Each structure stands twice: as structure tokens, then as C-alpha cells.
Amino acid sequence: MTKFSLLFFFWGIFGFTHAIAQQDPMLTNYHFNALVFNPAYAGSNEHLTLNLSHRQQWLGFDGAPVTQTLTAHSPLKNERVGVGLSLANDQIGPGGSTDLAASYAYRMQVGASKKLKLSLGLQASVANWRGDFAEITVEQSDDPSFSQNLSRWLPNFGAGAYLYGEKFYLGLGLPRLLEHDLRQAKDDSEAVFAKNYRHFYLSAGAAFPLSGDQLVFRPSLLLQNAGFLSKIEGQKIGAPMSANVGASMLFRQLFWVGTSYRTALSGQSSHDAANLWFAWSLRNGMRFGAAYDITLSKIRTASSNSFEIMLGYEFDVKVKQVASPRYF
């Protein structure tokens, strides 16, 4: 492993003394994987929905992130209740995490119109954080920081809210409210030097029909923050707030094509990537898509760009046939 990869691994995953980076998996096609960061999304498609995605970040970069997610969610017979399962696997260099979560959402009508709903969600999860330090070449072979591998099982719980109608949505998700020490100094007088941090996600979007249902314009926004309300004495906690600003078009209720721009809102790590993506829903319920990220940060000098692929299926449990794709 190169020194650059090693630096990235420790800075981006375990967050040493001065700052932390985003620790949760990052997806460009997050619209189809919203359950990963907001449990209130469970059941919102009004039928059973499955989605599988794979992301390969920074091609050609030694130890670059590789992410897989699997989500499934559906309303129950009591249509006010939605349930979901999500599995996320994130591998970066010699370390990574696997997170399994179960979500419960209770949905209620807002106002006299049946078109506006508020969903409140809860989530229980368990994650395995791991580090195979035997893969790392260090200058001092007796360095105690790398004397044993890391494997921690971390239980957690989360919450979220999701307000949505036919033409807009607004969501707030905190998928893991508890923070855990991943590695702690042996001397209690020293500060914790590895920790997984609380994240929050604020999402919003709207749909504007331009030619009836045949052509629909959808702007979207996702704000992410790591280290939300976290405090450790003597340490500066929290990565810069990041924003994913996007716009997409839906053609004939079947084909999505979109673009987005991901950047930090403060600090020196802004201008992360410009992204292109598409998703195509077949009339038999199958959906597939892909995304391509053009790296704008300094990492572009050492790697190529990133890509995602996605496969999904939509079930309509009410009329035994696939419903038209939703805007959200």
C-alpha cells in the first residue's frame, strides 16, 4: 500500500486528531437508496421495492473506496406502517465496515388532502468495523498502533422524518445516533484517537411537469454532516458540511437522466465531483442505472474517476402489476 493510500485510510475512516471525514457510504444515485440514510423512507413507494448498488470510487487509486448497498422496503397491510431492511458494505484499503439495519416507519396524513404525508421512522442496526493492519507496511515494525487487527461489533439506533407529496419531499435522517470508540489510547489520560461519528442528512426535492407526465423536471439537494453535535476535549470534530446539488429529467415515466455537483460548504476540501447518471425502469418492474463521477479534487492527479451501477425491482402488491415510477 502506498503512503498516500495509508494517509487516506486513517484520515478518511478513523479520523485522527484534527478532523474527520464522511464515514458513511457515499452514493451518487442516492435517490434510489434513501433508506440507507433515512429510516422514515420505508414504505413510501407504496409497494415492495428492492435496490442493489455497487460503487467503485477513484479508479486506479490504491485502496480506494468500494461500496455495495442492498435495500428492501414495503408498506404493511396497515398502510400507515412501512418496514425496511438495508445492508451496506464499505471497504477502504485494509479497513472497512458492514452495516445491517432494520427500519420501521409510521406514516400519517397531513391536512385535509390525502396527497401529503408525514412519515416518522426508527431504526435498529449493528455494524462491524474492521481493520486488517497486517496489510500495512510501517516504518517501525513494533509500532503498537498496528500490533493487532481491529474488529468491533457496534449496535446502534437511528431516527428520521420524511414529509412528501406528489410533487415535493423533505427529509431528515440520523441513521446512527450513538457514537462508539473504535480504538482508544491505552493510557486513559490520552484522548480517544479513533471514533465513529454521528451523521445527519437533510434531503429535499421537487417535481415540475413540463409536458404532463411525459416530461418532468426534478431538482434535488442532499446535505450531509459528520460529527453532528460531537465533542471531544482538545480535538476539532467534524468534516465540512457537504452538499450534493442535482437536477434530472424523467421521460415518459420510464427513463431518468440527471447530473449533480458535490462540494463542501466550508474548509479546503470543496469541489469534490461533477456527476452524470441515468436510470431506466422497464415495464416489467425491473430498473437499472449507472452513474459516472468526474473527480474535481486534488485526488484526480493520482486516480481516475468513479462509477456506480444499480439494479432494482418494483412490486405493486395491490393490483399485482408494476405501477408507474414515482418522482421520489
Instruction: In whole angstroms, give the CA distance from residue 47 to residue 63.
Output: 38
415518459: which residue's cell? 252
Q: How buried is residue 226: exposed, middle or buried, by Cβ count under 10 Å (0-12/13-18/19+)?
A: buried
Cα separation values, 135 from 89, 139, 167, 185, Å: 19, 13, 50, 22
Instruction: Determine the pLDDT at residue 233.
Output: 55
Instruction: Determine the pLDDT at residue 231.
Output: 60
List, in order, residues 6 or more apart from 205 with CB less than 8 Å away.
31, 168, 169, 218, 219, 220, 221, 328
481516475: which residue's cell? 304
Domain contains 322: no
Q: Which one has a higher pLDDT value, 38 or 138?
A: 38
Of 7-11, 211-215, 226-230, 308-312, give the lowest mean pLDDT range: 7-11
Provide the pLDDT confidence category of residue 235 given band limits of 50, 70 and 90.
low
Domain contains 321: no
Provide the pLDDT confidence category of residue 253 given band limits of 50, 70 and 90.
confident
Instruction: In whole angstroms, give the CA distance from residue 250 to residue 221.
Output: 17
CATH of the domain at 57: 2.40.160.40
Provide the pLDDT confidence category of residue 26 given band limits of 50, 70 and 90.
confident
- Please give the single-letter amino acid code of residue 115: K
pLDDT in tens, 315-328: 874 444 444 457 88
460548504: which residue's cell? 265
Provide the pLDDT confidence category of residue 39 given band limits of 50, 70 and 90.
very high
Domain contains 326: no
Instruction: Determine the pLDDT at residue 139.
Output: 66
Instruction: Determine the pLDDT at residue 85.
Output: 97
What's the total number of domains in the chain? 1
Domain contains 223: yes
Helix (H, G, I), strand (E, B) or coil at 40: helix
Instruction: In whole angstroms, give the CA distance from residue 91 to residue 56.
Output: 10
Instruction: In whole angstroms, give the CA distance from residue 33 to residue 72.
Output: 9
Domain contains 108: yes
Instruction: Determine the pLDDT at residue 62.
Output: 79
Instruction: Determine the pLDDT at residue 114.
Output: 75
CB atoms within 10 A of CB 24: 20
Q: Which of 212, 280, 286, 207 lies closest to 248 in space, CA to CA?
A: 207
pLDDT in tens, 74-131: 999 888 999 999 999 998 878 888 999 999 999 999 987 778 999 999 999 999 988 7
Which 3-state string (H, E, C) describes 145-178? HHCCCEEEEEEEEEEEEEEECCCEEEEEEECCCC
Q: Which domain holds residue 299?
A: 3-314
Domain contains 110: yes
pLDDT in tens, 164-214: 998 999 999 999 999 887 765 555 555 555 677 888 999 999 999 998 888
Q: Which one has a higher pLDDT value, 240 or 31?
A: 31
pLDDT in tens, 71-88: 999 999 888 999 999 999
Residue 304: left (phi > 0), alpha (psi -120 to 50), or beta?
Answer: beta
Domain contains 306: yes
Domain contains 325: no
Instruction: Determine the pLDDT at residue 92.
Output: 85
